[in-house]
Amino acid sequence: MIPNWKEIDGYYYKFFITNYFKKSSEELIIEYNKRGNSERKFSFMKNDFGWRLPPFMHMNENTVFMIASALANNVFRGMVVLFRK
């Protein structure tokens, strides 16, 4: 059984409850997948690149730190891809 999924007649379903009726079901699923991907990236940056404890108290003082660590993340991911080959 997959966590947070509902099994009905051998198929697994995940339900989204929304009051936004302008988008189709497929568009809503794509939107939620994009959000989940962004949250995974922020989790990675918090855990592996020091975003959990930024060096300064106010967010506007941490701009350079966050940009530099995001660039370091991109270099790291590029090196991982390069070394996998």
Start-end of H helices in the chain:
25-48, 63-84
Q: How confident is the model at residue 80 (pLDDT cuts 50, 70, 90)?
A: very high
> Model's pTM, two decimal places?
0.56
Cα distances (Å, whole numbers) of residue 15 to 7, 19, 22, 29, 76? 11, 13, 18, 10, 36
The pair phi, psi for residue 71, each rounded to 5°, is: -65, -40
Residue 1 within a domain: no
Residue 49 within a domain: yes
Range of the domain at 78: 6-84
Q: Give the tens place of pLDDT for each residue, 2-36.
A: 577 777 888 888 777 788 888 888 888 888 888 88
Residue 55 within a domain: yes
Residue 27 within a domain: yes
Question: How many domains does the chain fold into?
Answer: 1
Residue 43 within a domain: yes
Residue 67 within a domain: yes
Q: Point out which residues pair with 13 in neighbouring strands.
A: 6
